Amino acid sequence: MGTKLIESKAELDELLAKSKVLTYDQAQAMHVYIWKTYGQANDMTGGYVDSQDMVALLKKPTKATARTAYINQICYWFQEGPERDTKHRVEDTFDLLETLDRDPILKTIYRRVVWGK
């Protein structure tokens, strides 16, 4: 069935209000939103080695470990932007600040995950 895609900032705010500490469900919903809306992070097997997350999950297959993997990947996405060959990429540039201004859901995710607010 999968995680439902967040469709509004109000929906995300309601999800985040459930806990001050970022939960597995919150991290998963944010990850799904970014990956489905913008595409995966650029260079997931180069600059960011996602296999490290997979090894951790195999050693300790818990929601806490998966939550950490989601957060790591979200932070990396904000560092690198979307994969260069996705439809959301404009030429070879990605302006995070411009995108945050246009997308209040992404801005809320950025503030919560990267800034911890």
Confirm whether 116 is domain-assigned. Answer: no
Confirm whether 1 is domain-assigned. Answer: no
Structure-token pair, residue 111? 């503030």
Confirm whether 32 is domain-assigned. Answer: yes
3-state secondary structure of 93: strand
Sign of CA dihedral 117, 39, 8, 12: negative
* Residue-number span of the structural domain to which 79 is assigned: 9-108
Confirm whether 4 is domain-assigned. Answer: no
Instruction: State how many domains the chain has.
Output: 1
Confirm whether 28 is domain-assigned. Answer: yes
Digit-coded pLDDT (tens) for 23-49 = 999 999 999 999 999 888 887 766 666
Structure-token pair, residue 35? 């990956």
By percentage, how much of the chain surpasses pLDDT 70?
A: 85
Contact 69, 56 (CB under 8 A): yes
Q: pTM value?
A: 0.81
Confirm whether 113 is domain-assigned. Answer: no
Q: CB within 8 A of 8, min separation 6: which ones? A: 105
What is the structure's pLDDT at 49?
A: 66
Confirm whether 19 is domain-assigned. Answer: yes
Confirm whether 38 is domain-assigned. Answer: yes
Contact 3, 15 (CB under 8 A): no
